[in-house]
Amino acid sequence: MRELPAALTFDLDPDIFDESISSSNARTRLSWRGISEGVPAIRAALDVFAPGIPVTWFVRVDNQIADIYGRPGHLLEQHRGLFEDLRARGDEIAWHPHLYRRKDEGWEQETDDAALLTAMQAAIADMRALGFEPRCGRIGEAYGSTGLMAAFDACGIPYDSTAMSGRKRIDGERSIDWLDTPRTAYRPSKSDHRVPGSPAHDVIEIPMSMLKVKADYDAEPFLRYLDLSYRTEAVACGMDSLVSEAPYLVAVTHPSALMPDFAPMGGHGLLSFDLENMTRTLRLLAETAAAKCRELTFTTLGALGDRIAEELGRDADAA
């Protein structure tokens, strides 16, 4: 059987993290029950599914959090006991900055390279001051740039998992362009962060796992990342292909999307708001892996990155 390592990652954003959940502006509705209630519930459910599964928790630490709460690492400070307990049991505490700048009364994506570097260095310095040394990052809203990759190098973060291979959306809400990005990990080219090349940045890009997903409102399946909060039946159509082809898996989930209190009136055509849905999807993943003669194992994203770095090093030596 071929091994199929899987990194289960959770982005600890505000509870209302997407416009489809609430008609109000998500960035003005800051509650964090997904951390205080969702994280312990998820941890307990995973331990029932398979005791000791390691998890990577991506915590918001950035200039927007500093602007609102007084320091970039406010959430780490506020929930220090929880995160220290998670780390002690083998989970990974990673970094999930949303890099915005003020615009009138709101926020917009920061794109200036110097400003990005300044914001990232300040956030990392605060994480380290609080006793957390992140090895993995994921930029909010899947924003990427060559300047960002240079900033990862400057901050000493060896692994990034922002890329959504095959997706492009550039409009007033999002600036996502990973259309030509491979589905497997690579060192980003210094001339184009979306693809491998030489000379390359030091950081290794580990794309999220992408598969065809069919929400209730889709006419046809649509390419989305593997998310344990998506209704199990929505991801079922793409599971065979993903498990057959992927060398490893990176799942991305928001805790509040597994909590029934945050379900919109009338339900949601894609998100389950049901913790049992996470377990059903994991069972489907395990059953599909067994049928494809793949040995499903679980790892933190940082540990997966270490394996990938070793493989990339061997490939470079062979070349």
Give the per-residue pLDDT at 17. 82
Give the per-residue pLDDT at 265. 83
Number of neighbouring beta carbons within 10 Å of residue 72 = 27
List, as one string, the DSSP characters of 13-60: --SS-STTT-SS-GGG----HIIIIIHHHHHHHHHHHSTT---EEEE-
Low-confidence stretches of the chain (pLDDT < 50) are 23-28
Give the per-residue pLDDT at 20. 67
Give the per-residue pLDDT at 1. 84
Give the per-residue pLDDT at 29. 60
pLDDT digits (tens, 9 = 90+) for 56-98: 999 999 999 999 999 999 999 999 999 999 999 999 999 999 9
Give the per-residue pLDDT at 16. 86
CATH of residue 171's domain is: 3.20.20.510
Domain count, the chain: 1
Helix (H, G, I), strand (E, B) or coil at 61: coil
**Phi/psi at 273 (5° precision):** 50, 45
Domain that residue 198 falls in: 2-318
